Amino acid sequence: MAAMVLTKAKIEKAVAAGVPAGKSHLMLWDANVTGLGVKVRPSGTCSWIYSYRPRGAGRSVAARTVTLGSWPSLALDTARAAAQVHMGAVVLGKDPAIDLRQERNREKRIVSACVAEFSAFMTRRRLVNAKTITSTLSRGLVPLAAREIAEITRADIVALVEKLEVAGKPGAAQDLRRHTGALLEWSVSKGYREFNPMAGLRRPRTSRADRLDNGRRLGRALSDGEVKAVWGTTAAASPFNGLVRLALLTGLRRGELAGLRWSDIGGDRITIHAERTKMGVQHEVPITSAMRAVLQAQPRTSNPLVFVSGRREGGTKLSGWSKLLSRLIAASSVRFTLHDCRRTVRTNLSRLGVAEDTAELCIGHVRRGLLGVYNKDRAWAARVAAFETLSNYVACNVSGFAPDGLHGLALVSSASSKGGAR
């Protein structure tokens, strides 16, 4: 169609008339600004485009187009102004289409966009810690969020890590270092940068003070006296108290307990499905009478979760862990973390003579290497015996009988030899 002086009325008339039969679209070219046109589609939607040939290119070179926006969202005067900007760029020897493509690629490769894409990548692969890793990167890389990932240097990352260390957050610093390294390695595989600047980075040798601090951060197992004190302090019925007691009996992780649903509890076992476990493998815990007593003490609400806060109708998922644990520490005079309960279970299983392989399966660890490839026995009978022994051990301890570490060892040994598999 020949160029015409476009007006709003002319465009509306063309849209109302529709695209001629057999045509994929209708072009209305503007006589006032060379190269500016409206592309009308059969659906009635319209887009402003600017068509041009690069400076010095003859008609043998195909015209290139840049989409300016949709009509009527982008008014005629605004579209003409945008087209004139691109026209000026062409006169100066630039190529608007290539420039826009590079800008889009740049936006795609800025750190914040890469974190989002990396998060989607982890979610597709169903990484259990995808949300945690994304949160660490989103918060930790804020000062670099608007920069291209190809520009990020080792010094940039080290500066952020050291800032956390100086602030007394060594755990957060370690997480940021590790997860940023993974992000950069992924960006290399995507072609967003040539190499990973964190590759080969060695942490400084630890001092004696560092090792002492690391020992504290790595946690500990509670003594029998401490377990008794914590158990006694959690006697009052409350979701958090019940969660702590179940942690001391099962060795489940905090997230696994917080997300525990009534539907996860069967007749003889608690099932933590693969998508909720750290190892990505379904984990089953045999239910003992002590565990069942803790579970039965929890009120049933419309909420599917076992441990819920009662602040709202039906309850909500437990939160405010630091405050809840601080109160328990103050009341029991035992300083510990919830993960220390898991370490306590694992330690007590060894103290009670449970075979190492069985004890590892009891807390949901998976066999490594060739052992994991060829040994598919889940040692169910041995695990049942191990948790019964552990529950008896805890019961003797908290009731005032001094545990001697020998309760039920014959039962565990005989069950291990039978090797019940599931």
- What digits encode the pLDDT tens for the residues 304-348? 999 998 766 667 888 888 899 999 999 999 999 999 999 999 999
The answer to whether the beta carbons of residues 206 and 214 sit under 8 Å apart is: yes
Q: For residue 74, how many C-alpha atoms fall within 13 Å in the half-sphere facing its CB?
A: 19
What's the CATH code, domain 111-217?
Answer: 1.10.150.130
Per-residue confidence at 416, pLDDT binned at 50, 70, 90? very low
pLDDT at 181: 94
Separation of alpha carbons 65 and 96, rounded Å? 9
- Give the CA angle between residues 405, 410, 414 to the nearest 5°: 140
Q: What is the pLDDT of residue 157?
A: 94
Q: What is the mean pLDDT of residues 204-208?
A: 64
Q: Which of 104-113, 185-194, 405-414 comes out lowest in average pLDDT?
A: 405-414
Q: How does residue 169 score in pLDDT terms, banded at 50, 70 and 90? A: confident
Which CATH superfamily groups domain 8-108? Integrase, DNA-binding domain (3.30.160.390)
Contact 42, 25 (CB under 8 A): yes
Q: Residue 37 — φ and ψ, nearest 5°?
A: -150, 165
What Å distances lie between residue 374 and 285, 354, 369, CA to CA?
Answer: 22, 22, 9
Q: Give the pLDDT confidence score for residue 375 in this predicted structure.
A: 82
CA trace torsion 239, 245, 246, 249 (10° rounding): 180
pLDDT, residue 18, reads: 84
Interatomic CA distance for residues 105 and 185, integer angstroms: 19
* Residues above pLDDT 90, as percent of the chain: 48
Q: Is 389 exposed, middle or buried (0-12, 13-18, 19+ CB in 10 A)?
A: buried
Domain boundaries, the chain: 8-108, 111-217, 224-418
At residue 275, φ and ψ (nearest 5 deg) are -70, -10
Q: Kindly report the CATH class assigned to 224-418.
A: mainly alpha
| Tokens of residue 13, six digits | 């008339």
- Token digits for 144? 């670099």
What order of strands is seen across the sheet that includes strand 26-29?
26-29, 36-40, 46-52, 64-71
Q: CA dist 320 to 258, 297, 311, 352, Å?
A: 12, 22, 13, 34
At a CB cut-off of 8 Å and minimum separation 6, what does 109 contact? 148, 149, 150, 192
* The pLDDT of residue 199 is above 90: no
Return the pLDDT at 374.
82
What is the pLDDT, as a whole number, of residue 422? 39
24-78: pLDDT as tens digits: 888 889 888 888 999 998 888 899 989 888 877 667 677 888 888 888 888 888 9
Question: Per-residue pLDDT tens for 350-395?
Answer: 999 999 999 999 999 988 888 887 888 889 999 999 999 999 999 9
Q: Please enumerate in sequence order all residues whose Cβ is within 8 A of that of 135, keeping only pairs 6 or more positions apart, or say none.
A: none
Orientation angle between helical segments 321-332 and 224-233, nearest 10 degrees: 110
pLDDT at 205: 65
